[in-house]
Amino acid sequence: MLELDKVECEQFAACLNQDFEIVFPDGTLPLKLSEAHPLGARPESVREPFALTFLGRAGLRLPQGIYKMRNATLGEMEIFLVQIAVDQTRSTFEAVFN
């Protein structure tokens, strides 16, 4: 499993436009990584904080929470996702790493 306390923005940036699956007991739900951007260095941080943006199908709604995810390049991980938008074309989720 990917060690999220050590992962860097660049590792996710290398996976832009790749599918990430949310893994549920009864199946998977695809999201696409659309952004990986730094949030600016902070002296108290072990690494530079960054944010990820994932896109899902139109109308998709998920409660914020920790989701088991899988990617062909990075493997399995657990990420806290927050839904930040939903409309007729897509659903948008964000994960922030401090």
Is residue 2 one of the residues assigned to a domain? no
**Separation of alpha carbons 59 and 48, rounded Å:** 33
Q: Residue 81 in contact with residue 61, Cβ under 8 Å?
A: no
C-alpha distances out from residue 9 to 50, 65, 90, Å? 6, 21, 24
CATH number of the domain enclosing 35: 2.40.10
Give the domain extent around 18.
Answer: 9-97
Residue predicted with more confidence, 23 or 3: 23
Question: 25: left (phi > 0), else alpha (psi -120 to 50), else beta?
Answer: alpha
| Structural domain contains residue 4 | no
How many domains, the chain?
1
| Residue 52 maps to a domain | yes
* pTM for this predicted structure: 0.92
- The rounded distance, in Å, linking the Cα atoms of 64 and 82 is 5
What DSSP assignment string belongs to 11-33?
A: HHHTTTT-EEEEEETTEEEEEEE
Question: Is residue 1 domain-resident?
Answer: no
- Give domain status of residue 3, yes or no: no
* Three-state SS at 10: helix
pLDDT in tens, 24-74: 999 999 999 999 999 987 777 678 999 999 999 999 999 999 999 999 999
